[in-house]
Every structure is written in C-alpha cells, then in structure tokens.
Structure 1
C-alpha cells in the first residue's frame, strides 16, 4: 500500500515540476486570488495528464498479450505484479474523479474552502494535497467519526 501512495506522490511531484517555476502560492498572497486559482488549475491538469500517461503505458502492456512465463512461480509473481498495477490504476481512476471535482470547484469559486466549516483550507495543505476538500481539523474530525462508526 505504501508504494501505491508513493506512486501518487511521485506523479504529483512530477506535475509540480512541469509547472512554470515563476510562481508558487504563499500565505502572503490574497487567499484564492485569480493567480492562485490558476496555479492550482494548471497543477491539477498536469497531475491528471501524468496519471493518464501512466495508465496508457499499463493499457499498452495489457494489450501486448497475456503472461506466458514457463515457470509457475514466475507466472504467479507476474500475475501478482499485474494485480498490484491494476489496483494502482483503479485507485488513480478514482483520483481523476477527485481532480475533476477540484477543477469544477475552481470554476464555481468553491475551491480552497472547507466543505464542512466554510473556512479556508490553507495554501500549504492545498499544495500538499490539491484535491483536499476539508481543513486539517475537519478532516481529522471526519476520520474520528468514521473510525468510531467502524468500531461499532
């Protein structure tokens, strides 16, 4: 599971590197100014593009044919690797839906504001997790409630 999270972080880091280094949002700027919104829009679009590029590679590999390892152990290992790869791509497919939702929130003027409290999410949190919909505090409360309901 850690490598799947690592893949998402690597893809996001790649998207950040693809951005023009002329501007990085900071707390000194007006919160959710047009310049900040444009930064996050471009970041989200680059992130989505990186995910789609990675998924094209997986699709091409799948189309190249089935696994034909002569040794049963090698075949099992290859099938396990493919299972992990497919789960990663499924997770990224869900991530694309969240990216599209964040882009919609930018268009509607809701991006950067907590969906629970209405408070600013914060630039540092959005830079780390551009699809965030809640402040850290609201997210922690949500996760506590989720854990309590799971434990019942």
Structure 2
C-alpha cells in the first residue's frame, strides 16, 4: 500500500474538490487530504440516509385513513415504495458505515481482493466500493457463469 503524506487539506483548510483530487498523482493516492474528502462525503451520505429514515417514520405516522378504496390502495402503494427505498438505503447505510470504519483503520481505497488501489474516479462514483473495477468485473462474470 502507498504511504500517506502529511498534507491534510489545502492551504486554506478547506476540503479538496473532486477536480483537485482527480488532478493528484499516484503518489498522493489516499493521502490525508483525500481521506478527509471521502470521509466527509460518506458522513454526508450517512446523515442524508438517516434523515430520510426519520422522514419516512414521520410520514407513516401521519397517515390518515381514507374511506375510498382506490385512494387507500394508492396510499398503501406509496408507503410500500417508500419502505422499499428505505430498505435499500438501510443496506447502503451499512456499507457507508463500513467505509468510514475503513478510513479510520487506514484501509479505505484499496481492493479487498487484490490490495491494489480502487482508484479515485471509481471512489468518486461509488464511495462505498471495496473492489477495483477489474476485480468487480471478475466477480460479476464469475457470478454470471457459475451463479455464485
């Protein structure tokens, strides 16, 4: 694994931007500034998911009974969709929290299978990624071929 530099943030103390991170070289991969950027992004995502869960809870509590069966069916379908969405977010929340823990442990940004860098561009697109693109493609191909 690469060694970290001591640089934590740009001179003004602000977090890096995506553009600044993309311009960094390989020697800067997962330095303190990049880790701070991704930890902040993951923590924002975590707060958003938790806020959505709270809003869903409130929304479901406020439900009023309606006499019309068609209206009631529509409301029930909306609730079912909202609950499915929250279930997906609950699974994502677990991955977000695991990613934050990986940052704290100094393991974030490295492929679980190969130990190679996952890559900044991939982490910007999917900050919870644990596999490099190549390892993910191999895993998906294996699942497709063998149904694992």
**TM-score under structure 1 normalisation?**
0.80
Q: Is 1:92 aligned to residue 81 of structure 2?
A: no
Q: CA deviation at 1:22?
A: 5.0
Identify the residue that residue 147 of structure 1 maps to in structure 2: 144
1:56 pairs with 46, 49, 54, which one?
54
**TM-score under structure 2 normalisation?**
0.82
Task: Return the alpha-carbon distance in structure 2 between the equivalents of residues 70 and 149 of structure 1.
Answer: 51
Q: Helix, strand or coil for the counterpart of 1:55?
A: helix
Shift in alpha-carbon separation, 1:22–1:102, aligned structure 2, 3 A: closer
Considering fraction of residues, name the structure with more helix: 1
The runs of 5 or more residues in structure 2 that have no matched partner are 1-13
Say which is worse superposed, 34-43 or 55-64, in terms of deviation: 55-64
Identify the residue that residue 23 of structure 1 maps to in structure 2: 17
Shift in alpha-carbon separation, 1:27–1:118, aligned structure 2, 3 A: farther
Which structure: larger Rg? Answer: 2
Shift in alpha-carbon separation, 1:64–1:79, aligned structure 2, 3 A: same
The runs of 5 or more residues in structure 1 that have no matched partner are 1-19
Shift in alpha-carbon separation, 1:22–1:117, aligned structure 2, 3 A: closer
Determine if contact 1:27/1:123 at 8 Å carries over to the other structure.
no
Q: CA deviation at 1:141?
A: 0.9
Q: Helix, strand or coil for the counterpart of 2:24?
A: coil
1:123 pairs with 115, 120, 124, which one?
120
Query: How many residue pairs get matched?
Result: 131
Q: CA deviation at 1:148?
A: 2.2
Root mean square deviation of aligned Cα: 1.7
